[in-house]
Amino acid sequence: MDAKSIRKNFLNFFESKTHKIVPSAPIVVQNDPTLMFTNAGMNQFKDYFLGNKVAENKRVSDTQKCLRVSGKHNDLEEVGIDTYHHTMFEMLGNWSFGDYFKEEAIAWAWELLVEKFNLPKERFYATIFEGDSSEGLEQDSEAKEIWEKFLPEERVLNGNKKDNFWEMGDTGPCGPCSELHIDLRPQNEVDKVPGKDLVNQDHPQVVEIWNLVFIQYNRLANGKLENLPEKHVDTGMGFERLAMAIQKKQSNYDTDVFQPLIQWVAKKANVVYGKDEKTDIAIRVIADHIRAISFTIADGQLPSNNKAGYVIRRILRRAVRYGYTFLNIKEPFLHEMLDILVDQFDGVFPELIGQKDFIAKVIKEEELSFLRTLDNGLKKLDTITSGNAKKIEGATAFELYDTYGFPLDLTALIARENDMDVDEAGFQKEMEVQKNRSKSAGKQTTGDWNVVNDGEETSFLGYTEITTHTQVLRYREVKQKDKVQYQIVLEKTPFYAESGGQVGDSGYLQFEGEKIEVIDTKKENDLIVHLVKKLPAKPSGKVHAVVNESKRRLTENNHSATHLLHAALRKVLGDHVQQKGSMVNDKLLRFDFSHFAKMTEEEIAEVERIVNEKIRANIALDEKQNVPIEEAKGMGAMALFGEKYGDFVRVITFDRDYSVELCGGTHVPRTGNIGMLKIVSEASTAAGVRRIEAVTSLQAEKYYQQKLDLLSELEEVLKHPKDLKKTVENLVKENLANQKKIDAMNQQKAGNIKNDLKGSAKKVNGKNLITYKGDFPSADSMKQVAFDLKHEVDHLVLLIAANVNDKPMLTVMLSDDLVKNGMNANEIIRQMASAIKGGGGGQPFYATAGGKDLTGLDNALKLGKEMIEAS
């Protein structure tokens, strides 16, 4: 049975058990401060478990894209080394929200695996929670009794709290779980060692295939457990492992999930998979990583140097480095694998095929960039290994890792080739410092919810109201970096919670005799939380919730303007333009979109003209709520990849022939409210992504007023010339002519200095020492003199301590023969730079430094001379 059929049969099975089949959530998580990526199938259903929302469907099933590369679930370093860990994987799952429980979950799991997929029942083992006396928890005897209907007692095994008690986090829903393991070893190995002895022992052929979680408790902040009002089922089965079992393979990578990718890479590298362990690992890493890279980009997360983007960049660079080092692939190649992925996931995850070209271009640009970085890193290593040092310091190895993407093993390999060691302990120390810095920066302690009034879901009134009378449902304390804030949940609220690029509302809550400022409004999953610095004395009473109207209206102007801008960009640049991110507040709008060239001035002007035309047309907002998703798409509404939409959506239209989008934000009632739009910048933010920043309304007025004021000031300075433009052009021409004269004079002065220095060399220990302390016209002229003397004087040691435009600057130049004999300009410049309270560096033959203390130039030259005389 091929992989596509396995996935289809799984979903069909649970559909026959009256489960609603739902689409995968995006792999990139939004509105959840505890996660960067979806790492389990249950993530999109957290609100149901937490009690924030009531599930419309009590039974659901899906295949969920997951990524485990950071935090608690971090499989990255195992990927490729073993045969069953992955970064991106599919989690097949079924859920019950207060409906069925252990009896049905276990029976259906057995029915599907044994009766439908025909897996050998004698090879299965089930684990159940053995209990924990410290928690006052008894053995899950209910699950044990159910399993023993299908399995002999000796194949139902006790599991400890670590393996068989699932928790969402430090607090929240949790409960015992049952893992179903399968033994895929050959019979002769089974005869030697029974499978039960290898369960949960990281054996590559005795693997967990399905985890059935029975959520029945809630973990409080004080560590205690309380019973949930409803019991839930959350199951997760690794699709890739299931394929391995059904297809009778010994590795996930041997299945048709990975083999098309693996064989492509092997052919590209001109090697045979299965012949050499080093190349096999590299091929597995690449086959795995291209999936993670492609799906995260498809869901809107571009490689970058921050947070989730940095994780993706590291995965991509890890794949490139394995290809570069072990497969001798020196040019971009990952982007060529998209055709295979699109074919594999056709009809399952449409976001791949819909953005194939965009994803490929982003990956290719990242590959090109890293290959240049990799080359620079190798050059830096060459500089280090060409000196006298016998060890690469830990800080240097960490810089190579952190800046250039060099794993420690690659640095160690190159070091060994040059008879050097690496300070691995120092490297690990630097790594730990970085980890601790990240942990402390993001550490947040969240207290338990304190219930004030009964109620679960919050009604959002903000589309039509900016004030309302309501009451507090619950609140909790949040501590981060010694700062204490409180989160308040209201029964109904006009406050818009930050999402979809629109900032959250601020305002105040008026309690009896007390006004509490709301500094921000956020979403945690789908729960609207109001952030305040203090709690009211009596939170249980009536509340008047008031949004800051001025901020809201200006923000609405900018949000509606992004819709008009998006449509104008597609009209001017083409239909390939898709939104890749946005940020709107009361000051400006920022809009990221897919496009692979810098916009011309003419294109920017045309986009601006179209948007302002639509603003002047004063088009009325056409808002439709609770539209079935397919009907909305039929209306031409643009759905953004990476966003999770429900069965019913909100459609925002400004002229149905111009702008129709799915959107949950707040908008102007008519486009005339926006006033005007002015694009203030257009630039690249990532490979294949451009960013426009623009202002509207009051900020646009300020922008134009500032330009007019500047023009008036310029006219006044130039004595109100008749032709301002021509006057400025003449001034520029005069300035350029004068600059050329100055450059010629500086060049002549530098030439004179060089000629004087050439004849001043002194013999010191077989070296020609030239020193200079005085003025230099520029840093560039000083550099030119240094390089000229290097070519004209043998065995050269040049030390310059110069005043360059009232700033101290140092230069050291060494001839190549002296560098080969062990001298290093970096070591000399570091010593000299201490005298001018500065620092610098360069290459072994040439180094420079700048500083703050002009009075230290004499001492700097003295220190340099002493080092030469002592060598």
pLDDT digits (tens, 9 = 90+) for 207-220: 999 999 999 998 88
Mean pLDDT of the chain: 89
CA distance 298 to 277: 32
Structure-model confidence comparison of residues 813 and 167, the more confident one: 813
Average pLDDT, stretch 175-189? 94
Return the axis-axis angle of helices 356-385 and 277-298, rounded to nearest 10°: 130
CA distance 199 to 127: 9
At residue 777, the pLDDT reads 87
Q: Strands 391-392, 421-422: parallel, antiparallel or unpaired by DSSP?
A: parallel
At residue 435, the pLDDT reads 67
Report residue 691: phi and psi, to 5°.
-130, 130
CA distance 116 to 509: 58
Does 87 score more than 80 pLDDT?
Answer: yes
At residue 447, the pLDDT reads 82
Q: Which of 161, 166, 101 is nearest to 131 (CA)?
A: 161
User: In this predicted model, what pLDDT tens digit does every residue of 233-262 receive, in sequence order?
Assistant: 999 999 999 999 999 998 999 999 999 999
**750 Cβ contact list (under 8 Å, min separation 6):** 776, 777, 781, 782, 784, 785
Does 526 score more than 80 pLDDT?
Answer: no
Range with the poorest average pLDDT among 82-86, 178-182, 349-353, 539-543: 82-86
Range with the poorest average pLDDT among 368-382, 610-624, 682-696: 368-382
CA distance 836 to 24: 61
Cα–chain center distance at 614:
36
Edge-to-edge strand list for the sheet holding 648-654: 622-628, 648-654, 659-662
Most confident region among 162-171, 339-348, 478-487 by mean pLDDT: 339-348
**383 Cβ contact list (under 8 Å, min separation 6):** 843, 844
Does 389 score more than 80 pLDDT?
Answer: no
Please report which confidence band the pLDDT of residue 73 belongs to, taking 50, 70 and 90 as the band edges.
very low
The model's pTM: 0.70
Does 71 score more than 60 pLDDT?
Answer: no
Does 34 score more than 70 pLDDT?
Answer: no
**148 Cβ contact list (under 8 Å, min separation 6):** 156
* Residue pair 658/567 in contact by the 8 Å Cβ criterion: yes
Average pLDDT, stretch 598-612? 96
CA distance 626 to 660: 15
At residue 745, the pLDDT reads 86
Average pLDDT, stretch 318-326? 89
Does 151 score more than 90 pLDDT?
Answer: yes
User: In this predicted model, what pLDDT tens digit does every residue of 804-830 receive, in sequence order?
Assistant: 989 999 999 999 999 988 899 999 999
At residue 624, the pLDDT reads 93
Range with the poorest average pLDDT among 75-79, 354-358, 653-657: 75-79
**569 Cβ contact list (under 8 Å, min separation 6):** 577, 593, 595, 607, 692
At residue 519, the pLDDT reads 96
Number of neighbouring beta carbons within 10 Å of residue 728: 13
Can you list the positions of beta strands (E) in 184-316? 206-219, 225-238
Please report which confidence band the pLDDT of residue 69 belongs to, taking 50, 70 and 90 as the band edges.
confident
Does 225 score more than 80 pLDDT?
Answer: yes
Please report which confidence band the pLDDT of residue 566 belongs to, taking 50, 70 and 90 as the band edges.
very high
User: In this predicted model, what pLDDT tens digit does every residue of 129-145 receive, in sequence order?
Assistant: 999 988 889 999 999 99
At residue 451, the pLDDT reads 87
Angle at 683 between CA 597 and CA 522, to 5 degrees: 120
Range with the poorest average pLDDT among 49-63, 507-521, 575-589: 49-63
At residue 439, the pLDDT reads 54
Average pLDDT, stretch 712-727? 90
Please report which confidence band the pLDDT of residue 639 belongs to, taking 50, 70 and 90 as the band edges.
confident
Average pLDDT, stretch 303-331? 86
- Could you give the percent of the chain with pLDDT greater than 70? 96
Range with the poorest average pLDDT among 115-124, 282-291, 330-339, 364-373: 364-373
Q: Strands 172-183, 206-219: parallel, antiparallel or unpaired by DSSP?
A: antiparallel
Please report which confidence band the pLDDT of residue 641 belongs to, taking 50, 70 and 90 as the band edges.
low
Please report which confidence band the pLDDT of residue 371 belongs to, taking 50, 70 and 90 as the band edges.
confident
Range with the poorest average pLDDT among 38-52, 182-196, 556-570: 38-52
Torsion of CA 485, 486, 487, 490, to 10 degrees: -140
